[in-house]
Chain A
Amino acid sequence: MAGYFTNILGGAKSLVVGLSITQRQFFKKPITLQYPWESLEMTPRYRGHIQLIKNAESGTHQCISCGMCEKSCPSDCITIKGEKQEGVKGKVLVKYELDFTKCSLCGQCIANCKPGAIEFSREYNLASTRKEDFHYDLLKRLKEQK
């Protein structure tokens, strides 16, 4: 019979403890992220599509149009074109196109780039109903970058 009452009292106490926990949680700040309005910075090692690195001093890329990225790409995603221009040493990059629909993000292009002109971007908000939207002009993208 003693067990009957201790059971009830112990149970009642645990109920009050439970209530106080939920009431305390109620006053704490929400920890959810309101996605379309807020988003977290993507992790530094995230592999988005490749992009040309902007050099802070010259304000442009460091590509020498050697074509190593194009050759090393196992999926033939990259098309580049370099031209000789007067008064400039070496070739000048005039076209750098990436077909991201075929890219498997293996990173061979980055590993083979001698001047280190390309990197993975942290772009992850990619969605479209047309595959042409994933054909990127990286030179144009570099110009638009601030």
Chain B
Amino acid sequence: MDLGINVFEMVIYLVGFIAFAAANAAYLVWVERKGAAHIQRRTGPKEVGPYGLLQPLADGAKLMSKQFIIPAGVDRPLFILAPILTMVPAIMIFVTIPFSETILARDFNIGLLMILAFASVNVLALLMGGWASRNKYAVISAARVVSQNIAYEIPMLIIVITIVLISGSMNLTEIVAGQAGGILHWNLLPTNGNFLGPITFIIFFICSLAETNRAPFDLGEAESELIAGFHTEYSSMGFGLFFMGEYANIVIAAALTTILFLGGWYSPLPESIPYAGASSVVWFLVKMYLLIWLVVLIRWTYPRVTLWSLLNLSWKILIPFSLFNLLASAGLVKLLG
């Protein structure tokens, strides 16, 4: 075993993932602001650099140069640990995400399980941040986030089990490989043999919105009620890390949706077409960013739901539907397979 090269590879991957997560977080904020502005017929950031493209750098410099204030009476270790704990699992998750057949850090047999396990650590971090802040809004927000994430983890896991049933593997590379052979073989489409594909996709997408605390399920940071929710007391890079973690989670959710439903790096076009027909990381990123754009569009379209309707949606609609979906898919797999 050549340890030297492995350590070198590890460092390269780590730096790459941190850079990818940070760049995405920074520029998704820009996309979000520009998108929101144009949807509302404004222009958005435009002063710093052409089209405001340097705005994220200016924001980052501002955040880094500010003081990290630790208010009196907070639970100090938890308060400091919470923002770190939102970012670290997010970076860990990137390890198993296959961006293409070759761009992949570690090919785990249970990659999907690992992603879901690390994704649920995020809830703990938000709870810790909210609890440690010694602020009533932060505590209310933390309680909401926990109840929301637990409610939506159930349908999400059931949907993931459905996908695992169909593809017969928890290895993300194999799940993508199972969707090879053109757009008609994607898990999203009913032509894959499983006519419940679209329902599965929609439930998964809704759950991923709720799991990443995105609008219209952003009850954890409902500004009008809870100031800023769990990160009310955070300043400087503490806040910055929460923010980066949020956007990194959106990227992960979009990447996972791409892998599970949209055929990962496979091109939707027939292979006979030059360039566009070739399967590569470009197609993966195109699909991922289209999904992220959909997430941004959803944020600026729908009003925030109330807490009870959020939980109702999960317990009364999504869980029964996903359970039925699981049973029906299992039956179909048994019948057709």
- Categorize the interface residue count of chain B: 10 to 19
Report A61 CB to chain B, min CB distance, Å: 42
Whether the pair A26, B317 counts as a contact (CB closer than 8 A) is no
- Judge if A85 is at the interface, Cβ distance under 8 Å: no
Contact B41 A32 (CB under 8 A): yes
Find the B residue at minimum CB distance from A25.
B39
Q: Which of B267-275, B279-287, B297-305 contacts A (4 or more CB under 8 A)?
A: B297-305
Q: Is there a chain A Cβ closer than 8 Å to B48's Cβ? A: no
Residue numbers in A under 8 Å from B191 (CB-CB): none
Given the known interface contacts A26-B35, A30-B37, the answer about A19 and B42 at a Cβ–Cβ threshold of 8 Å is no
Beta-carbon contacts of B188-204 to A below 8 Å, as 1s and 0s? 00000000000000100
| A-contacting residues, B13-40, CB 8 Å | 35, 37-40
Cβ–Cβ < 8 Å partners of A87 in chain B? none
Q: Are A8 and B39 in contact (CB under 8 A)?
A: no
Query: How many angstroms between the C-alpha atoms of A86 and B38 in the bound complex?
Result: 67
Residues of B within 8 A of A22 (CB): 39, 297, 300-301
Within 8 Å by CB of A19, from B35, B43, B46, B297, lies B297
Interface residues of B in 136-183 (CB under 8 A from A): none
Q: Quick one: CB contact mask for A1-39 with B, threshold 8 Å, 1 for yes? A: 000000010001001001101110111111110100000
Contact B43 A32, beta carbon cutoff 8 Å: yes
Chain B residues, Cβ within 8 Å of A25: 38-41
User: Given A8-B317, A32-B43, are A26 and B38 also a contact pair (CB < 8 Å)?
Assistant: yes
Most buried by B among A8, A12, A25, A28: A25
- Bound-complex Cα distance A27 to B46 (A): 17
A18 and B43 in contact (CB under 8 A), knowing A26-B35, A26-B38, A30-B37? no
Q: Can you list 13 contacts pairing A with B, beta carbon distance less than 8 Å?
A: A15-B302, A19-B297, A19-B298, A21-B301, A22-B39, A23-B297, A25-B38, A25-B39, A26-B297, A29-B41, A30-B37, A30-B43, A34-B46
Identify the A interface with B (CB < 8 A): 8, 12, 15, 18-19, 21-23, 25-32, 34
